[in-house]
Structure 1
Amino acid sequence: MLPTHGYFPYHPWVGRARWNWPNGAKLAVYLGVNLEHFAFGEGLGAELAPGGPHPDILNYAWRDYGNRVGAWRLLQMLDELKLPCTVLLNSSMYHHAPELVAAHRARGDEMAGHGRTNSERQSTMTEAEERAMIAEATDAMARHEGVAPRGWLSPWIAESRATPALLAEAGYRYTLNWCMDDMPVWKTTSAGRLLAIPYPQENNDIPAIVARKDGMAQFADMIVEDFNERLRQVRDGIPQVMGIALHPYIIGQPYRIAMLRGALKRILARRRDIWFTTAGAIHDHVVNLPEGSIPG
């Protein structure tokens, strides 16, 4: 027997319970918009081009382009298409780009926790350090938003062995860290249950465009083909979640936002057949389903 995490058992896709999202939909679609801030000249940083020693001006400035320009283009597109989103927020953004956070707040977008900054990784922290980091990020969001966040995506999707329990202990209700399913799954922790909501590593601009070197046309086609295939699959009655993960310093480039808009318009042509929503609303629907409706 190999070591295991103990959060949930294996549950095959076949034989899953059949139930509906709101309005009878079988496919829920949400956008996860990552608003991230990085320390200058130290710590971790996404390398969009081969990085050099700190200060890595090229990659730092490229990332900050997302907050200064790209995110505003993305907001304009969301307004144009009348789409909600879940904001995955580094709490340091309240200091770095408060106007950007305020613009999402004014739209009524859901705010989910994404740590303090993507310059750090909680899997390398002691349990006390990690608990303090979660508390600091959560308190900042509660103070600015008037309500504590219910969902969490770890910076770099990095967890320690204590992370799920620490999140449940801090009052979180769902996590986006685990990408092992196309349906929400209940995780059992020592501090209570935590819902794992699917967060994509395929329909995600960083793995696709930065890591795999896909062009934007290929990424846009991938989103549409993924959507079309899911719509075909849910005819069997098993509901699915489709997430699309976006980072403004990638997707906010003019030619990329244009192709993303086109892909989303193709999805919205089938809006009556789907539930376009937020991760938090997915959680709220799931908790009201009869026990045993989802794995866990």
Structure 2
Amino acid sequence: MLRTHGRYDYSNITKRPDYTWPGGKRLAVYVAVNIEQFSYGEGKGAAIAPPDQAGHSIFSWRDYGNRVGIWRLFELFDELDIPIEAQINTEVYEHCPDIAERLRERGDEILGHGITNSEEQGHLDEAAEADFIRRVTDIIEQREGQRPMGWMSPWLSNSNVTMDLLQEAGYRYFMDWTSDDQPIWMKTRSGRILSIPYPIECNDTRGIVWYRYTSSEFVDMLIDNFDEMLEQSERQPLVCPISLHPFVVGRPYRIRQLRRAFEHILQYRDRIWLTRPGEICAHIESLTPGVVPGS
């Protein structure tokens, strides 16, 4: 007997009920920015040099993202009028408080994303993981004045009960599973939680650091993915996510290439819904039951 997760049933995307995004749009595009704080000398490295360890060279390479990279990306997002969603480690509030202030000024969405990115959650027992989620949620609520709607686990690390605990903590969606180009409802022991599409490959740590694409190759991939999905979305509504890390794509020469991708995408601003995951979630929640898989 094949072991299965039991969280959702198989669904052929070409045979699902049709719907549209707000304004009759067919393709939703969102930009996820991972704003992370790392513990010095602990946790995973980032495979930038062998061996993959968390020494001073990797720590300082990643620390560039909060000191320099995110601020250059903010300039780019402001220049092109691009809304973003930020999954932030709560230690960012302590170590880089002006980053959260800038997100607040821009009106960007903040997700739960653990305490630091030197810690994972998938290995925790249920009580410890529930406490971990609660601590992160409480800190964001205290700082932002509202609870986050969405969650992304650090390193996408899930236990067998992560989505149960998230749903029970009041989360409406999460972005840890990457099995679809449309949002789908996933089963939990106390109800359901929405899975928002998240990119493994249109993601700079995977594409540039792990797969070793050049900056121009990575941007070509973003453009090709967008162009193809724009055509595919004529047949069904889709989500085109882009995931960025300031310590990777926040380098000057990579920003130069990234601007090229966004300028291309924004040529189609009148045809796409440039949005944030929380708005995607709210729209899905408004649809008639039976339209979205798992509903």
Give the TM-score taking structure 1 as reference length: 0.97
Match of 1:262 in 2: 260
Where 2:78 maps in the other structure, the secondary structure is: helix
Q: Encode CA deviations 1:260-287: one digit per residue, 9 max, x unaligned.
A: 1111010000010100000000001000
8 Å CA contact 2:40–2:59 kept in 1: the answer is: yes
CA distance change for structure 1 residues 45 and 38 in 2, over 3 Å: closer, same or farther?
farther
Deviation at 1:47, TM superposition (A): 3.4
Where 1:272 maps in the other structure, the secondary structure is: coil
Question: What amino acid sits opposite 2:160 in the alignment?
Answer: R
8 Å CA contact 2:46–2:53 kept in 1: the answer is: no
In 2, distance between residues paired with 1:52 and 1:197? 30
8 Å CA contact 1:121–1:155 kept in 2: the answer is: yes
In 2, distance between residues paired with 1:48 and 1:169? 37
Question: Of 236, 244, 251, which residue of structure 2 is paired with 1:253?
Answer: 251
8 Å CA contact 1:45–1:118 kept in 2: the answer is: no
Match of 2:287 in 1: 289
Q: Encode CA deviations 1:95-152: one digit per residue, 9 max, x unaligned.
A: 1111111111110000011111111111111111111110111100000000010100
Match of 1:102 in 2: 101
Match of 1:78 in 2: 77
Where 2:122 maps in the other structure, the secondary structure is: helix
8 Å CA contact 1:152–1:172 kept in 2: the answer is: yes
Match of 1:7 in 2: 7
Question: Of 271, 275, 278, which residue of structure 2 is paired with 1:273?
Answer: 271
8 Å CA contact 1:166–1:191 kept in 2: the answer is: no
8 Å CA contact 2:176–2:198 kept in 1: the answer is: yes
Match of 2:170 in 1: 171
Q: Encode CA deviations 1:228-287: one digit per residue, 9 max, x unaligned.
A: 111111122x10001000000001000101111111010000010100000000001000
Deviation at 1:51, TM superposition (A): 4.0
Where 2:225 maps in the other structure, the secondary structure is: helix
In 2, distance between residues paired with 1:219 and 1:109? 25
Match of 1:181 in 2: 180
What root-mean-square deviation, in Å, do the aligned CA atoms of Structure 1 and Structure 2 show?
1.0
Count matched residues: 294
8 Å CA contact 1:51–1:59 kept in 2: the answer is: no
8 Å CA contact 2:21–2:237 kept in 1: the answer is: yes
In 1, distance between residues paired with 2:249 and 2:143? 27
In 1, distance between residues paired with 2:148 and 2:51? 34
In 1, distance between residues paired with 2:249 and 2:230? 25
In 2, distance between residues paired with 1:155 and 1:262? 29
Where 1:14 maps in the other structure, the secondary structure is: helix
Q: Encode CA deviations 1:42-86: one digit per residue, 9 max, x unaligned.
A: 2334332224766x0000000000000000000110000111111
Match of 1:36 in 2: 36
8 Å CA contact 1:38–1:44 kept in 2: the answer is: no
Where 2:103 maps in the other structure, the secondary structure is: helix
In 1, distance between residues paired with 2:48 and 2:87? 20
Match of 2:240 in 1: 242
Match of 1:135 in 2: 134
Structure 1 gaps of 5+ residues are: none
8 Å CA contact 2:84–2:108 kept in 1: the answer is: yes
Match of 2:159 in 1: 160
Structure 2 gaps of 5+ residues are: none
**1:212 and 2:211 aligned:** yes
Match of 2:20 in 1: 20
CA distance change for structure 1 residues 190 and 220 in 2, over 3 Å: closer, same or farther?
same
Deviation at 1:16, TM superposition (A): 1.2
8 Å CA contact 1:123–1:160 kept in 2: the answer is: yes
Where 2:205 maps in the other structure, the secondary structure is: helix
Match of 2:201 in 1: 202
In 2, distance between residues paired with 1:230 and 1:196? 19
